[in-house]
Amino acid sequence: MSAKALETIVRKMFKMLDSRNFSAFLELFTSDAQITHADGLRTTPQEFIQEIQKIQEWPKRSRTLSQFRFSKNPAHAWVSYQNKVTFEPNPGQPLTFQFSETAFLRRVETSWHFFRIHYEKE
């Protein structure tokens, strides 16, 4: 798998999340996956989605992913990147956040799946 292919998987994950395509989002994770959030809370991807589903008004958002770095072996890969996301919960009142993120992926048969994600707010 090339570095570009790993970047594509990360971009796909956020596309599924931002469009609220939660079933496709969850398919990108291993069954034992965990997300460590900026506040230190750890959740499974399923728990994360359950919390998001409680949000009635999904704010308009834009996202810029950049500064990708990669490493891999035949069974595992990691990718780190910057995630700048702007939410607009109220028209004309954007809120922008910058995150440093690291994702670890595991090869499952012929495809790669996230099994750990960690992000910190800049």
Q: Within a 10 A sphere around the Cβ of 18, how many other Cβ atoms?
A: 15
> Which architecture, in CATH terms, is 3-121?
Roll (3.10)
Output the pLDDT for position 82: 98
Note the pLDDT tens digit of each residue in 65-116. Answer: 999 999 999 999 999 999 999 998 888 889 999 999 999 999 998 899 999 9
Mean pLDDT calculated for residue range 22-40: 97
Per the model's pLDDT, the better-predicted residue between 89 and 118 turns out to be 118
For the stretch 37-70, pLDDT in tens is: 999 999 999 999 999 999 888 788 899 999 999 9
**Residue 3 neighbours by CB under 8 Å, 6+ apart:** 68, 70
| Domain extents in the chain | 3-121
* Per-residue pLDDT tens digits for 75-87: 999 999 999 999 9
What is the pairing mode between strands 60-72 and 76-90?
antiparallel
DSSP string, 55-97: -SS--EEEEEEEEEEEEE-SSEEEEEEEEEEEEEEETTEEEEE
pTM of the model: 0.91
Q: How far is Cα 37 from Cα 43, in angstroms, rounded to an integer?
A: 8
Span 1-23, pLDDT tens digits: 688 889 999 999 999 999 999 99
Locus of tokens 């997300």: 35
Which band of pLDDT confidence, cut at 50, 70 and 90, is reported for residue 32? very high
> Which pLDDT value is given to residue 1?
66
